[in-house]
Structure 1
Amino acid sequence: MGLKVPVIILVHSIEHFLEEPQAQVALDNPRIQFLTLSGHVMSELVARVGKARMDRIDVVEPCLWSVDDPKPASGTPRRVAIPGAISLRTRDYPGLIRAVAENRKAFEGYRFVLGSGGEDREAIEAETKAKGLEPWFEYLPLSGDQVAQDVYMDSLRRSQVMLSLIPDDFEKYQTLKITSAVPTSVGFAVPLIMDRWSVACYRAPLIGADHGLRASLDRLLSLTEDELQAHRAALIAYRRERLALNGQALARLAARVV
C-alpha cells in the first residue's frame, strides 16, 4: 500500500473492515491511524488487532448536527422517534405493533414516528393500518424510496423521546458497530431508551431499561416530564464535552502521522 500522504481510516463496522483484503496491510503500516465511532467499538477493535496497535486507534462520536446547542422539544402527544431505516433485521417493529395493539389505552398520548424508508416499510405500514393503529403510528412521506433528509432530521428534532427497538437476536450494535440512535439522541438532545447492556456500552447519558421490549415500553410510559427535561440537559452537557474530546482525539491521531 503505497501512500503519498498520511491516512486516518474511519472504521464503522469492525466486521466489514477486517474482511477487506487490504485490512492487514493497513494495520501493518504505522502511517495509518484509525477512528471508531464509540468506545465499545474501539475496545473490540483493539482486542482483535492487538494492544500494540492501540495508540493508533481513537474515538470520535458523531454528534454534531448543528453548531449551536440543540433545543429539544417538550409537548404532547409525545412523539416517540424510531431512528434508522425500517428493517425487520435491526428493529423489532412487530413487537412494538403487538404491544400497542394489545393495550391501546395505555399508549394514548403517544405517537410512534417511523421516519425513514427501508426494505420493510411497506409491510410494516400495511400492518399498522390493518390493525387500525393509525392514531399511534406516523410515517413520514417518501421522496422516491426514502424520506427527504431535511424532513427526517426535522422530525427527529421535534421528538420528545427515542426508542431504539433493537431486537434480542441482534448484538452487533453492542460489539462491532454503533446504532444511529445514539448519536441522533446526543445530537438533538432527545432522550433515548435502551437496555442495560447498551447503556453500559455507550458513554452517552441514555435512559436505562431492563431486558426486553416490554421493559423499554414500560419505562417509556413511566417517564415524567421532569425526568425528560433532566435527560435533555444531561445530553446537551454531554454533547459539549464530547465535541471537545472529539477534537482532541482527532488532533492526537493527526499529530502521529504528520
Structure 2
Amino acid sequence: MRAAILQTGGVHEEIVPSLVAALGPGWEVSAWLNDKCRASKGDIFAEVPSPSLTVHYRALDGHPAWETLREDVLAFRPDVVIAATFQREPLAQFIDSLDLPVLGVIHNLRKAAQAPTVAKLIESGRCQPIVLAEHVRAAFNRSSSGAFIDRIGVVDPVNWGLTGAPDPTCRRIAIPGGVNATNRDFGGLLAALGPGGLGRKMAAKGAVIDILGGGPDRARLQREATDSGLSELIRFAPLGASGRVHYNEYLHALRQGWALLPLIPLSKGDYRDFKITSAIPTAIGFGLPMVLDRWTASVYRAPCVTSDISVAAALEALLELSEADHDTLKLATCAYRAAALSRNRAEVARLLPGFGLVAE
C-alpha cells in the first residue's frame, strides 16, 4: 500500500518520522514538505532516517506550485493521504480536492474548529482525525460530545531515531524548542540560577543548561544570562543562517543530554488541555529523564520526576537525582517510548479499516 504525507507549512516536520513508523512495514511512503522547513532548520531526514520514505521538498508559493503538488501526489496513486498538520481551511480545501481518504493530524483543536472543511471531512468519514496525546483526544471527545469517539487516533511523536550517550564531561540539562517567553518560563530560570539560587549547586554537580532553540526572545535571554554572570551555566546551541538551530546541532545536543527541563509555565494551560508541548515527546524520544509539575505529570502520565511548579523546584529535583535513580528513570523512559511506538502502530491499524484498508 501507498501513503502520501503532506507537511505544507514551515513547521511540524519533526512528527513525520513518527507517522512513517506508525504505518508499519509493507508501506511505500512519499512525503511532500514545504522547503521552508529545510531552509529554516536543515533536513531532519538526514538525522532521523526512515528507510521506507521518499522525501520531496517543494517551494509552495503561488497557485501553480500547489497545482504541481496536486499532480505529483495523484500520480503517486496513494491509498491514503496523511496531512501532518490538518487544522487550517486552505489546506483542508486542498486535501478535499484530492478526493482520497485522509488521516488528518490536528495539533490545535481550537484552530481546527475554525476550519469548516476540516469538520466536513471528519463528519463525512473521509477523514479519520489523529491527535498527538491522550489528553488531546479527551478534549476532542468533550468538544464533540463523543460523536467521533471510535474514530480518533493518537500518534505520540516520539520517534527521533537512535538515542546517544550522555556527555561524560558534564550533566547537560536540555531545554528544547524555541526561545519564547510566553511558552517557557525563562524568567524563572534566570531567577533560579541568580543570586542566592542554585548556581553554585549546578556548578558543584557539573550541570549546565543547554538552550536548543532560536526564537524571538533568544537574544534577550542571552544578554540577560551574560549580564547575570550565568554564561558558564547557560549555553546556547549555535544558530544557522536562518536564525534557527539546525537539526544536526539540535539532535546532537539532545543525544548528549543528561535530562530535560520542559520549563512549562503555569499560564500555559493549553499544553495541559487541547494541545501538547513538544518538550515532553522530545524527552521520551531521546530517553531523557524529565521533571514535571504535578498538574502536567497527571496529564501526560509519562515517566518523570515531579516537583513543585517553580523552576527552582524543578531544577532542585533534577540536581538531587542520584545516578542510580537517574539511570532507572532513563530506562523507564526508553521503555515508555517503545510502548508508545507500538501503540502508535496499533492506533493507525485501527483507523485504516474505516477506509477499507488493512495494515499488514
Which bracket does the TM-score occupy, shorter chain normalised? over 0.9
CA distance in 2, matches of 1:138, 1:212: 21
**Corresponding residue for 1:193?**
291
Cα shift readout 1:69-128 (whole Å, capped 9, x = no counterpart): x34426442111001100001001111111101222122122110011001000000100
Residue 191 of structure 1 contacts residue 228 of structure 1 at CA under 8 Å; is this kept in 2?
Answer: yes
Answering whether residue 349 of structure 2 is matched by residue 251 of structure 1, we say: yes
CA distance in 2, matches of 1:118, 1:213: 20
**Corresponding residue for 2:315?**
217
Residue 72 of structure 1 contacts residue 157 of structure 1 at CA under 8 Å; is this kept in 2?
Answer: yes
152-161 or 73-82, which moves further after superposition?
A: 73-82
**Corresponding residue for 2:106?**
11
- 1:131 Cα deviation from its structure 2 partner: 1.1
Answering whether residue 135 of structure 2 is matched by residue 135 of structure 1, we say: no
TM norm structure 2: 0.68
Please give the root-mean-square deviation of Cα atoms over the aligned residues, in Å.
1.5
User: Which of the numbers 46, 49, 58 marks the counterpart of 2:144?
Assistant: 49
User: Which of the numbers 38, 56, 74 marks the counterpart of 2:133?
Assistant: 38
**Corresponding residue for 2:4?**
none
Answering whether residue 182 of structure 2 is matched by residue 89 of structure 1, we say: yes
Residue 131 of structure 2 contacts residue 155 of structure 2 at CA under 8 Å; is this kept in 1?
Answer: yes
CA distance in 2, matches of 1:169, 1:158: 30
CA distance in 2, matches of 1:246, 1:153: 22
> What are the residue-to-residue correspondences of 1:73-152 with 2, within 5 Å?
73=166, 75-102=168-195, 103=197, 104-108=199-203, 109-144=206-241, 145-152=243-250
TM norm structure 1: 0.94
Residue 133 of structure 2 contacts residue 276 of structure 2 at CA under 8 Å; is this kept in 1?
Answer: yes
CA distance in 1, matches of 2:182, 2:99: 41
CA distance in 2, matches of 1:22, 1:90: 29
Q: Which runs of 4+ in 1 moved over 4 A?
A: none
SS in 2 for 1:52: coil
**Corresponding residue for 1:166?**
264
Residue 189 of structure 1 contacts residue 236 of structure 1 at CA under 8 Å; is this kept in 2?
Answer: yes
Cα shift readout 1:186-218 (whole Å, capped 9, x = no counterpart): 111011111111111113212221233232122
Unaligned runs of 5+ in 2: 1-95
Residue 131 of structure 2 contacts residue 154 of structure 2 at CA under 8 Å; is this kept in 1?
Answer: yes
80-89 or 194-203, which moves further after superposition?
A: 194-203
**Corresponding residue for 1:154?**
252
Q: How many residues align?
A: 256
CA distance in 2, matches of 1:93, 1:5: 44
| Cα gap change, 1:185 to 1:72, in 2 (>3 Å) | farther
Residue 196 of structure 1 contacts residue 209 of structure 1 at CA under 8 Å; is this kept in 2?
Answer: yes
Residue 239 of structure 2 contacts residue 245 of structure 2 at CA under 8 Å; is this kept in 1?
Answer: yes
Higher relative contact order (CA 8 A, sep 6+): 1
Residue 33 of structure 1 contacts residue 57 of structure 1 at CA under 8 Å; is this kept in 2?
Answer: yes
Residue type at the aligned position of 1:101: G
55-64 or 20-29, which moves further after superposition?
A: 20-29
Residue type at the aligned position of 1:135: E
Answering whether residue 119 of structure 2 is matched by residue 24 of structure 1, we say: yes
Residue type at the aligned position of 2:103: I
**Corresponding residue for 2:280?**
182
- 1:157 Cα deviation from its structure 2 partner: 1.1
CA distance in 2, matches of 1:65, 1:24: 31
Residue 73 of structure 1 contacts residue 157 of structure 1 at CA under 8 Å; is this kept in 2?
Answer: yes
SS in 2 for 1:19: coil
**Corresponding residue for 1:202?**
300
